[in-house]
Amino acid sequence: MNGIRMVETPTAQPPFYLPQADECEIFAAAHGNRLPLLLKGPTGCGKTRFVSHMAARLGRPLYTVACHDDLSAADLIGRYLLKGGETVWVDGPLTRAVREGAICYLDEVVEARKDVTVVLHPLTDDRRILPVDRTGEELAAAPGFMLVASYNPGYQNILKTLKPSTRQRFLAVEFGFPKPEHEVPVVARESGLAEARVQPLVRLANKLRGLKGQDLEEGVSTRLVVYAATLINGGMPVERAVLAAMIEPLTDDEEVRRGLLDLVVAIMG
Ligand code: ADP
């Protein structure tokens, strides 16, 4: 089936997530009140981890779909497939989540084709139904079902934006890059590198984020800081790790790259 998807079943120990503010309470309240939730924010700032953590805390299975510009409603709902000479109906991840009362997370929902939003509308109001045209079914979402979507306002262009008629169906929470007092322990925990050695990496990350819009399209993500720290913890020299994890992924422009390297030397010594 088209579209990367991942299924997670709840585990006794939810994956580690350090809250930035009251997002866990908002998520739990949205789930308890059967309301859909939109997570806004840049890539790599913890949205996917947050959803896995909350799904595990609430004891719900999680279906994650990474949306892309070829993803259609049929990829989410399901389709007839030929199996051993027979045509059988196979539920897509959204249909499975609706039937099972699971959480369905549509990552980067604006990337998906337009017909996807049409499917979401009856699911995101108080009807909570999913019409499956191909099979003639109209499924009522099982208790526990929740739709969560994310999008990155930074990537927006006129063609790819959520229409008000869609976004005004969701509660929304804004995610930003974590404050240093949150990011340092997160990176240390994820990489195994001591907090004292993570600190300069986080300082550098924040300087690089300050360049967004001037030289850089997007600030360095927490994910990349975790990568750098992981390499350093494995014994790689700091400068090499920073170049591979926090500079090269950000730019292909030689001049910008050189400028960023100067910044590394100035901050990390
Ligand atoms: P997004 O979905 O926003 O692109 P992810 O959830 O994949 O980002 O986050 C990238 C990585 O950053 C995670 O795998 C995790 O290591 C780390 N991370 C970021 N924020 C947090 C946080 N608040 N708590 C725990 N880990 C975090």
Q: What is the mean pLDDT of residues 171-196?
A: 96
Does the structure show a pLDDT above 60 at 152? yes
Out of 174, 200, 233, a domain closes at: 174
Q: What is the mean pLDDT of residues 124-135?
A: 91
Ligand 1: residue of 8, 49, 155 to mutate (most ligand atoms within 8 A of CB) is 49
Out of 174, 191, 214, a domain closes at: 174
Give the residue, 223 or 114, on which the prediction is more confident. Answer: 223
Q: Are residues 150 and 210 in the same domain?
A: no
Give the model's confidence band at 161: pLDDT under 50 very low, under 70 low, under 90 confident, else very high.
confident
Q: Are residues 86 and 39 in the same domain?
A: yes
Does residue 222 line the site of ligand 1, with CB under 6 A? Answer: yes
Of 91, 35, 101, 18, nearest to 62 by C-alpha is 101
Does the structure show a pLDDT above 70 at 109? yes
**Where does residue 102 rank: exposed (0-12), middle (13-18), buried (19+ CB within 10 A)?**
buried
Q: Are residues 168 and 249 in the same domain?
A: no
**Distance, CA 227 to ligand 1 centroid (Å)?**
11
User: Which residue's C-alpha comes closest to atom 1 of ligand 1?
Assistant: 44
Does residue 223 line the site of ligand 1, with CB under 6 A? Answer: yes
Q: Are residues 40 and 148 in the same domain?
A: yes
User: Which residue's C-alpha comes closest to atom 5 of ligand 1?
Assistant: 46
Ligand 1, atom nearest to 52 Cα: 6
User: Which residue's C-alpha comes closest to atom 24 of ligand 1?
Assistant: 17
**Distance, CA 50 to ligand 1 centroid (Å)?**
7
**Distance, CA 56 to ligand 1 centroid (Å)?**
16
Q: What is the mean pLDDT of residues 190-215?
A: 91
**Where does residue 106 rank: exposed (0-12), middle (13-18), buried (19+ CB within 10 A)?**
buried
**Distance, CA 89 to ligand 1 centroid (Å)?**
35
Ligand 1, atom nearest to 50 Cα: 6
Q: Phi first, then psi: give them for residue 170, nearest 5 degrees.
A: -115, 145
* ipTM (interface predicted TM): 0.99
| pLDDT on residue 1 | 47
Contact 28, 173 (CB under 8 A): no
Does the structure show a pLDDT above 50 at 143? yes
Q: Are residues 56 and 185 in the same domain?
A: no
Using CA atoms, how far apart are residues 41 and 173, in angstroms rounded to an integer? Answer: 9
Domain housing 253 = 180-268
Ligand 1: residue of 222, 224, 246 to mutate (most ligand atoms within 8 A of CB) is 222
**Distance, CA 268 to ligand 1 centroid (Å)?**
24
| pLDDT on residue 264 | 87
Question: Which domain CATH number covers 81?
Answer: 3.40.50.300
Q: Are residues 39 and 90 in the same domain?
A: yes
Q: Are residues 129 and 32 in the same domain?
A: yes
Does residue 49 line the site of ligand 1, with CB under 6 A? Answer: yes
Q: Are residues 223 and 157 in the same domain?
A: no
Of 75, 9, 17, 32, nearest to 171 by C-alpha is 32
Q: Are residues 247 and 119 in the same domain?
A: no
Does the structure show a pLDDT above 60 at 110? yes
**Distance, CA 30 to ligand 1 centroid (Å)?**
21
Out of 174, 206, 230, a domain closes at: 174
Angle at 65 between CA 147 and CA 77, to 5 degrees: 70
Express each pLDDT in 208-239 by its tens digit: 998 877 777 778 999 999 999 999 999 999 99
Other C-beta atoms lying within 10 Å of the C-beta of residue 196: 9
Give the model's confidence band at 155: pLDDT under 50 very low, under 70 low, under 90 confident, else very high.
low
Q: Are residues 134 and 220 in the same domain?
A: no
Helix (H) or strand (E) holding 49: helix 47-58
| pLDDT on residue 32 | 96
Q: Are residues 235 and 123 in the same domain?
A: no
What's the domain count of the chain? 2
User: Which residue's C-alpha comes closest to atom 11 of ligand 1?
Assistant: 223
| DSSP-based three-state secondary structure for 139 | strand
**Distance, CA 131 to ligand 1 centroid (Å)?**
34
Q: What is the mean pLDDT of residues 242-260?
A: 91
Does the structure show a pLDDT above 50 at 115? yes
> pTM of the prediction?
0.92
Does the structure show a pLDDT above 60 at 38? yes
Q: Are residues 138 and 101 in the same domain?
A: yes
